[in-house]
Homo-oligomer: A and B are copies of this chain.
């Protein structure tokens, strides 16, 4: 068993309103920054033991399906690195 780090990035689907990102964008503009758009996402870094990187990715995918993401409003992706 090796320890892998799976990174799950959860973002809102296109078309879902993101008031937090809107507020952040406006705050940056008030500070004088020019930007076209800003999107926010949540990132979870999960350390887990698994037999292979693909087993770790499958497990992280199931975590996203069952808890980390809400499929009605979120898309997610999973990346896996060896952590040691």
Contact = CB atoms under 8 A, between A and B. Distances in A.
A9 B48 CA distance: 21
Q: How many protomers of this protein does the assembly include?
A: 2
Contact of A40 (B3, B43, B62): B43
Interface residues of A, number: 31
Interface string A5-17: 0000101000000
B3 A36 contact: yes
A51 interface: no
Given A24-B68, A27-B67, 5 more contacts: A3-B36, A31-B66, A34-B48, A35-B63, A41-B44
Contacts of A48: 33-36
